[in-house]
Structure 1
Amino acid sequence: MRNHLRTFMLLAALTAVFVAAGYMVGGPTGMLIAFVLAAAMNLVSYWNADKIVLSMYRAQPADENDPDPLIRNYAVDVRELATRAGLPPPRVFIIDQDQPNAFATGRDPAHAAVAATRGLLAMLDRREIRGVMAHELAHVKNRDTLTMTVTATIAGAVSALANFGVFFGGRDENGRPAGMLGAILVAVLAPLAAALVQMAISRGREYEADREGAAISGDPQALASALRKIDAYARGGVYNPDAEAHPATAHMFIINPLAGKGGDNLFSTHPATENRVEALLGMAGEAARAPLRRSRGDGTAVPVTDARRGPWG
């Protein structure tokens, strides 16, 4: 409940930034128009969250009959992991980009979709891919996907509105043109405020999805290894052109797709990768120290904390 309240407050703040930017561009009339647009965007994003983001990245469906064994195994593993998580199988997509990355989207678990880049399937081994997709399914299970997509939509609109203000100038409190100063305020402060709210929504959710993803896959070390590889590759300068064109969607990916930057600071969309890896390895250590017992008579040793979900659930 507390997470849902926090999310509502952050989304309300982001909507308020959009409305304020509308006032700076067009005075009271601009504020009213921005409010109506914000309400419409929230509604459209709710019903079409998956379609909006998937179309931005030109994602193509992937299934278990694909002739490419990497894609075929990827689709099979997503279905299996969804079953383990108690989720309906999401739609599975592939993005034709070399940068290794992945995201989940959709308004609820029944309408969810997951997407991975070809670069991710090519670079990681199957165990690591399973760890990444378990993380994305954790976002679905925690119902993060709707919030993340609506946030991306509104944050992108604030930036577009700010750019509009550069050409037409801002408005003062009486609705009169505010000249160059107003344009600068709109162009700089509005996107900055939107970005700060967007980052606040994203970072805590990544830690939680790591934890829940480790519970789904039962293999926190696989996700830790995948995060290390993805982060190192991204830092090598391999960019995703579609992400560069839509920077407001950066927080949706498992690793920042813009420049692979990480850092637990005011301007990061993701927690520092080394901090996430440390937390995951700590989970693996806890599992190793946990007492074991036999499960269902099949000879499989599992931690006593929870034979169904694993020791991190």
Structure 2
Amino acid sequence: MNNLKTVVLLATLTGLLMAVGSLFGGRSGMTMMFVISMLMNFASYWYSDKIVLSMYGAREVTVNDAADLIRIVAGLAQKANLPMPKVYIMDTDVPNAFATGRDPEHSAVAVTTGIMRALSLSELEGVLAHELAHVKHRDTLISTIVASVAGVITMIANIAQWTAMFGFGRSDDDNNGISGIVEFVFLIVLAPLAATLIQLGISRSREYLADETGGTISGNPLELAKALEKIEYFAHQSVLPEATPATSHMFIINPLSGTRGFMMNLFSTHPSTKQRIARLEEQARHMK
């Protein structure tokens, strides 16, 4: 299913870029954007994980740098029957974590320095088990490609907004019947909405499943529940540096949770933390 979603996302990116090229450059513009989309699809598949890690300034660590962290990841990977992923640390006080990589053999988990200070080792183990669950379910490729596609869509919308403001683009005599108003609505309103809907459709159900699987791997769902509550609290106090709507779905708790408002709640990429905690508590009761 995730492989199918990946193909659909890359095809969506290709179609969107070609539509933009046609609107602003006719047939030649569409051809140029098709070539660009092929290059972006290639980069999204092979390098999107490295791009996201670089965005957040994540640095790879070894047992000499973070012995407890490496020990926990190694133990959980063994329990989950997974290859040992690379481990990264992001230097920020805001607690959070995510996993990435195109498959379990090329996976990575990243945590912030803040989460290592805010959580107990057992709570941190619950978080890392959740992230390895994403690796086990092969969510990480689709998650990282979503970040790339959403980022491109947002970038196109921003460029189109400035283009519309300054009157660039094709003239009214060469728009094949498509008015400037339609172009404006498509690129300024629908494109960012499409990016959000892509995230919305992918993230919520997989977070519940990763919580459940993470609770099973760690053997203690209540520790993950306590960790989620703490991370949620800190997320409402301060925003993770470099966090963007295009990558927010990758984290265990939405790093933009502190950005309140109706639209943020409507298009949240994560289920309610209270609901996630309730499910983990129910899981713990059944494990006794």
- Range of TM-score over shorter length: 0.7 to 0.9
Normalization by structure 1: what TM-score?
A: 0.81
CA contact (8 A) 2:10 2:41 kept: no
Residue of structure 1 aligned with 2:247, choices 242, 249, 252: 249
Give the structure 1 partner of residue 240 of structure 2. Answer: 240
Give the structure 1 partner of residue 257 of structure 2. Answer: 259
Distance 1:4 1:281, change over 3 A: farther
Give the structure 1 partner of residue 125 of structure 2. Answer: 130
One-letter code aligned to 2:256: L
Deviations 1:194-229 (A, max 9, x none): 211122111111111111111111111111110011
Distance 1:261 1:78, change over 3 A: farther
Give structure 1 stretches of 5+ with no counterpart. 289-313
One-letter code aligned to 1:203: R
Give the structure 1 partner of residue 36 of structure 2. Answer: 37
Distance 1:76 1:34, change over 3 A: same
Distance 1:25 1:258 in 2: 33
User: Which secondary structure does the structure 2 equivalent of 1:87 belong to?
Assistant: coil
1:62 aligns with 2:61: yes
CA contact (8 A) 2:9 2:149 kept: no
Q: Which has the higher helix share?
A: 2
**Count of aligned pairs between the two proteins:** 280
One-letter code aligned to 2:241: P
Deviations 1:128-166 (A, max 9, x none): 100000010011111111111111111111111111112
Distance 1:261 1:270, change over 3 A: farther
Give the structure 2 partner of residue 165 of structure 1. Answer: 160
Give the structure 2 partner of residue 199 of structure 1. Answer: 200
Distance 2:176 2:150 in 1: 24
Distance 1:142 1:22 in 2: 36
Deviations 1:235-290 (A, max 9, x none): 12x111211xx3311110111112346999640111111111111111001112xx
Normalization by structure 2: what TM-score?
A: 0.88
User: Which secondary structure does the structure 2 equivalent of 1:94 belong to?
Assistant: strand
- Deviation (angstroms), 1:38: 2.8
Give the structure 2 partner of residue 283 of structure 1. Answer: 283
Give the structure 2 partner of residue 78 of structure 1. Answer: 73
Q: CA RMSD, aligned part only?
A: 2.5
Distance 2:214 2:110 in 1: 16
Distance 1:275 1:24 in 2: 44
Distance 1:37 1:200 in 2: 26
Distance 2:210 2:197 in 1: 20
